[in-house]
Amino acid sequence: MDAGTCAPQVEAHFDAIPNHAIEWASPDWAPFHAHFEASGYDARPFYRTADLASGAKVQHYDGFVIDWIVGETSTLKLIAALREQDARSPIVVLTAQVLMGVVDETDIAEAVKAHGLVFSEKPVRMSILSATLAPAFAAAQ
């Protein structure tokens, strides 16, 4: 795997130096953590959707990067709960499932509109993801 692309099943959540929590369904976190840290983010990994949902209730995060599908389940309920808790923090949704025909792009488009999401297809280049996150996090401050 190229360190410039996200691993499958990546969920991330970001908070403020900016402190960010990142939920990764894959344990291959080190290259991504190093990139986020080098980009000025205090990245906090979560490996399960339930852990991110619980963590976000007790800790404020400045933003989130979340995989649209974890296992075989959409993260739409998690996204809705995060948005209900915090209307301003950016939520970036990643997936490779549209290209594979597993996910209907209309579902993602509706979620983008309903919850003010930023969407990116995987594999995503980490430098591009960081560049996308910077203005979104700045606007949320």
97 is a domain residue? yes
In the prediction, which pLDDT does 13 show? 47
Amino acid of residue 120: S
Question: In total, how many domains does the chain have?
Answer: 1
Q: How far is CA 8 from the centre of its chain?
A: 12
7 is a domain residue? no
Q: How far is CA 37 from the centre of its chain?
A: 15
Q: List the domain range (segments joined by +) for residue 21.
A: 12-140
- Say which CATH number the domain at 88 has: 3.40.50.2300
Q: Distance between CA 129 and CA 7 in Å, rounded? A: 13
In the prediction, which pLDDT does 22 show? 62
In the prediction, which pLDDT does 109 show? 97
In the prediction, which pLDDT does 133 show? 78
Q: Distance between CA 65 and CA 133 in Å, rounded? A: 9
Query: What pTM was computed for the model?
Result: 0.79
- Dump pLDDT digits (tens) for 18-57: 565 565 555 566 777 778 888 888 878 777 888 889 989 9
Which residues of the chain fall short of a pLDDT of 50? 1-17
4 is a domain residue? no
